[in-house]
Amino acid sequence: MGTRKYIIKTQDCPTSEINQEHLNLKKYTSELNPEQFNAVSTTEGYVLVIAGAGTGKTKTLTYRVSYLIELGIPAWQILLLTFTRRAAQEMMTRAAALGQASCANIQGGTFHAFAHKILRQYAHHIGLNENFTMLDQPDAADVIDLVRTELGFNKKEKRFPKKKTLLQIISAARNKDLPIELILEASYPHFLDYAQEIDTLKKSYDAYKRANHLLDFDDLLFELYRLLTQYPEQGHQITSQLRYIMVDEYQDTNLIQARIVGELAKVHQNLMVVGDDAQSIYSFRGANYKNILDFPAQHPDCTIIKLETNYRSTQQILDLTNVLINQAKEKFAKKLISASPVGSELPAIVSAPNEQFQSQFIVQRILECREEGTPLRDIAVLMRNSRDSFGLELELGKANIPYVKYGGQKIVEAAHIKDFVAYLRVLNNPSDIISWNRILQLLDGVGPKTAGALIEWIKQSPTPYQLNQANVSQKYLSSLKALSALFDALNQPDYPLSSISDSLFKYYHPLMKITYPDDFPKREKDMENFLSLIQNYTSLTDLLSDMALDPVDLSAMETIGMHKDEDPVVLSTIHSAKGLEWHTVFLINTLDGILPSRYAVLEPSQLDEELRLMYVALTRAKMELYITYPIVSKHHRDDNFMSNPSRFISNLPEHLYDRLWLVMESSHTRQPGIDGPTAKKQLSDKKPTEMIKNPSDDLPF
DNA sequence: CAGACGACATTTTTT
DNA sequence: ATGTCGTCTG
C-alpha cells in the first residue's frame, strides 16, 4: 500500500496552505543562530535535530511552533510531544509570547497525556469502555497484589517479589519487548526461579485489567498503537490531522513510543525529533537512545541538524563536562563550545568530612550566593536519589531557607491522598473497583475478603451506592449506611466540586485519624494543601485525569505555600532536572555506589547511563558548579564506613576544577579511625565550616 | 476474617 | 527509617 499526502482544505481554515506573507522572517534570522534557524525553517519532511545540552533546544522548538503558525498552519494541526507537561506548557506559552496567541492552542503534552486524550475519544471504537479507569503506579501494584493473592503466589517458601517489584518487572518486559526471563536475568537475577510464575501473573494481570476496564501507563501507549495500526479508519482520522509533529527528548523514548511516532507521522511525513544521545537517562523505563541513532536509517531522506553552540554554561563548566562524558564506553560525536564569556571560576569538587558538613556547606554557600545577588530560585541542589537530600532539608529548614523539591514520592501517591481521591473516583465512575476496594477497607471490620464480597455485589447492582442493601452482617451495616449516605449527598447533579470535597473531607477526616495515628498531623497538613489545590478545578473528570497523568506539579505544593515572599531554592533529583538550568548548581552525595548507583556498576551499559546522568546534572549549571561528597556516609546499618567519591570524578584532570576541603570546627567530633584529609585540617575554626582551596597536593583522593 | 505485632529485607530514577 | 510479609489472636 502506498501512502500519499492529500491535504484537505477545511472550512474553518481557508489559509491552510502555506503562505509566507505573514511571516516575519527577520525575527527568526536575527534571534537564532544559523543551525537553529535551519531547524526552525526546515518544516517539511523528516528532520533529526541533535541538540547538545544548553544549545537552545527549547528555544528552537518554541520558535518553530511560532514559525509554523505564522505560515498559516492552524494550531490544531501541530503536535508537540514532550517529556513532561511542564515542558509542553512552557514552550507553548513562550511561543505565544512571540506574537501569535494561537501558539498556545497547539496539541501538546506527554505521550501518555496525548494517548489518554485520544483513547477517551475513541474508546468505543476499539472495544474499550469509555469510562475506563487510569491506574497510576501504586494502583497498578495493588491490582497485581490482588491477582497474586488469587493465584496463591504469596505462599511460596522462597520469597516472592513484592508487588512494586513485580510491576516494574512486568512493565520493563513490555516496554523493552522482551520476555520476563530476560528482564530477570539482566536486572533481577535473584528472582530468576520465578520466571514462570511472573509470566503467569502478567497474563492474569492483563486479563484482570481488561475485565475491569483498567488501563495502566503502559496500556495507554499500547492501546494507542493498537488503535493506530488496527483501525485504519479511526487511525487515519487522527493522523490526517497531524500535519506537523515535533518530538522533544527523543533519546528518552522507548520502542512503543518510537513506533507511535512513526504511525502518527505516516500521512503528512513532517516529523522533527529532537534529542541528545548523551542525555539519555531513562533506560530503566525502557527508553532506548538507539531510537535517535536509528532515525536516519529509518528515514534515509531525513535532514540532520546538529546544535553544538552552548549558550548556557561557562567554558570552564563545559571543559569539565566534555571530559566527563568522554569516559563513556559508547562515544558521542559531539563537543560543546561555549558562547558565554570566559573568566569565571572553575567548578569545585568539595570534600566534606560527613554528610552534615556537606549540608552546612551548601546552606552557607546558598546564603552567600543570595548575598551576591543570585536569587534563590536560580540555585539548585541535585541528587541521584530523592532521599539523598533528607539531611540537607533539615539544615535548610533550620536556616529558614525556603525550598521546593522535585522528584521522589509524589503527594498524590501518599496513602491518605489516595484514600481521598478514591471517593472522588468512585463518584466519577461507580465501577472503579480498585477505588471501591480502598474505600471499603477503610471501614472498621472490613478487610480484603469482605471488601471482595461487597465488590461482587457492587459489580452487578444497578444502584452501587446503596451499599446497605447488600447482604451483609450487622457488624458493618452502620458504617456502610454512612458511606451510602455520603454518596447520596455527593451524587447530586450540578453539585460543585468544592462542595463535594468539603463534604468528603468531613467524612474522611475522622477516618484518617484512626487509620494513620502515628503521623496524623503531617498528613492533615498534606490534606489541607491538597484541598486548596482542588480549588483550581471545576471538573471532576479533569481533576482525576490530571492526578493520574501529571502529578509533578502537585509534589511541589507542600513546601511552596509556606513562603510567599521569596521564590525557593530548588531541590531535585537529576531525572526531574532534565531540561532545566540554574545559575548555581550543587550535586550532592557524589559517592561511588550512589552515582553511579551500586546496582549499576556491574553492567557496562548501565554504568554508562549513570555517567550520562552525572553529565545531565553538571550541564544544568550556568555559572557556578559544586560537586560535593561526604567522606563518611551512613549505611543503612548504622555503622559508618569510609566512602569513595564517584569513580566518574576521581580521574578528572586536576586543572579542570578547584578542590575544596571543608574544615571541622574542632577535632573531637571526628570519628576515630578516619585518616586522610580530615587529619590535615586542624588549622581553622571560627565558623563551623570553612573552605580551604587547593591545599597541599599530597592529599589522598 | 480482621487487625495487631514482630521480623525482615530493601532500596534508584518517572509517565 | 520504612514498608511489606507472615503469624498469632480474638
Give residue A8's pLDDT.
Answer: 53
Distances (CA, A) of A679 to A296, A662, A675: 56, 12, 6
**pLDDT higher than 50, residue A679:** no
Pairing of strands A348-354, A621-634: parallel
Nucleotide nearest to A414 in CA–C1' terms = C3
**pLDDT higher than 70, residue A596:** yes
CB-CB contact of A291 with A258 (8 Å) = yes
The gap between A256 CA and B8 C1' (Å) is: 38
The set of residues with CB closer than 7 Å to nucleic strand C is A 141, 145, 154-156, 160, 162-164, 636
pLDDT tens figures, A5-40: 555 554 444 445 666 777 778 888 999 999 999 999
Nucleotide nearest to A159 in CA–C1' terms = C5
Give residue A694's pLDDT.
Answer: 45
Give residue A555's pLDDT.
Answer: 46
> What would the mean pLDDT of A658-662 be, rounded to a whole number?
86
The gap between A660 CA and B6 C1' (Å) is: 47
Give residue A624's pLDDT.
Answer: 93
Give residue A673's pLDDT.
Answer: 35
Nucleotide nearest to A409 in CA–C1' terms = B14
Give residue A261's pLDDT.
Answer: 95
Q: What is the dihedral of CA A198, A200, A205, A208, to 10 degrees?
A: -160
| pTM for the full predicted model | 0.86
Give residue A225's pLDDT.
Answer: 96
The gap between A539 CA and C6 C1' (Å) is: 44
CB-CB contact of A489 with A476 (8 Å) = no
Helix (H) or strand (E) holding A571, with range, is strand A569-573
> What would the mean pLDDT of A626-652 be, rounded to a whole number?
74
Q: Whose CA is nearest the C1' atom of nucleotide C2? A: A636
On average, the pLDDT of chain A sits at 82
Question: Residue A343's pLDDT band (boundaries 50, 70, 90)?
Answer: low
What is the distance between the alpha carbons of residues A57 and A135, in angstroms, rounded to a whole number?
Answer: 33
Lowest mean pLDDT among A17-26, A100-109, A457-466, A692-701: A692-701
What is the distance between the alpha carbons of residues A221 and A173, in angstroms, rounded to a whole number?
Answer: 14
Peptide bond into A462 cis (omega under 30): no
> What would the mean pLDDT of A393-399 be, rounded to a whole number?
86
Question: Residue A683's pLDDT band (boundaries 50, 70, 90)?
Answer: very low
The gap between A161 CA and C4 C1' (Å) is: 11
pLDDT tens figures, A115-170: 999 999 999 999 888 878 888 888 888 888 888 877 777 666 667 788 888 898 99
The gap between A68 CA and B13 C1' (Å) is: 36
CB-CB contact of A634 with A306 (8 Å) = no
What is the distance between the alpha carbons of residues A694 and A657, in angstroms, rounded to a whole number?
Answer: 10
Nucleotide nearest to A550 in CA–C1' terms = B15
Nucleotide nearest to A157 in CA–C1' terms = C6
Nucleotide nearest to A636 in CA–C1' terms = C1
Q: Whose CA is nearest the C1' atom of nucleotide B3? A: A445
Q: Whose CA is nearest the C1' atom of nucleotide C4? A: A162
CB-CB contact of A585 with A569 (8 Å) = no
Place of cell 491518605: A416
pLDDT tens figures, A176-226: 888 888 888 888 877 887 888 888 889 889 998 988 888 999 999 999 999
Secondary structure (DSSP) of A16-36: GS--GGG--HHHHHHHS-HHH
The gap between A512 CA and B2 C1' (Å) is: 18
What is the distance between the alpha carbons of residues A237 and A239, in angstroms, rounded to a whole number?
Answer: 6
What is the distance between the alpha carbons of residues A272 and A243, in angstroms, rounded to a whole number?
Answer: 11
Give residue A660's pLDDT.
Answer: 87
Question: Residue A476's pLDDT band (boundaries 50, 70, 90)?
Answer: confident
Q: Whose CA is nearest the C1' atom of nucleotide B12? A: A385
Q: Whose CA is nearest the C1' atom of nucleotide C1? A: A636
Give residue A388's pLDDT.
Answer: 85
The gap between A7 CA and B8 C1' (Å) is: 64
**pLDDT higher than 70, residue A408:** yes
**pLDDT higher than 90, residue A636:** no
Give residue A182's pLDDT.
Answer: 86
Nucleotide nearest to A440 in CA–C1' terms = B2
The gap between A296 CA and B5 C1' (Å) is: 61
pLDDT tens figures, A294-329: 899 999 999 999 999 999 999 999 999 999 998 888
Question: Residue A638's pLDDT band (boundaries 50, 70, 90)?
Answer: very low
> What would the mean pLDDT of A608-632 be, rounded to a whole number?
92
Nucleotide nearest to A110 in CA–C1' terms = B15
Number of Cβ within a 10 Å radius of residue A527: 20
The gap between A282 CA and B7 C1' (Å) is: 35
The gap between A417 CA and C6 C1' (Å) is: 28
pLDDT tens figures, A364-383: 999 999 999 899 989 999 99
The gap between A137 CA and B14 C1' (Å) is: 10
Q: Whose CA is nearest the C1' atom of nucleotide B9? A: A159
**pLDDT higher than 80, residue A232:** yes
The gap between A456 CA and C3 C1' (Å) is: 29
Strand B bases, protein C-beta under 7 A: 1-3, 9-15
Strand C bases, protein C-beta under 7 A: 1, 4-6
Nucleotide nearest to A164 in CA–C1' terms = C4
Select from A51, A83, A81, A109 the least CA-distant residue to A279. Answer: A51
The gap between A476 CA and C9 C1' (Å) is: 21
Nucleotide nearest to A518 in CA–C1' terms = C2
- Please classify residue A285 by burial: count the beta carbons closer than 10 Å to its beta carbon, then call 0-12 exposed, 13-18 middle and 19+ buried: middle
Number of Cβ within a 10 Å radius of residue A683: 9
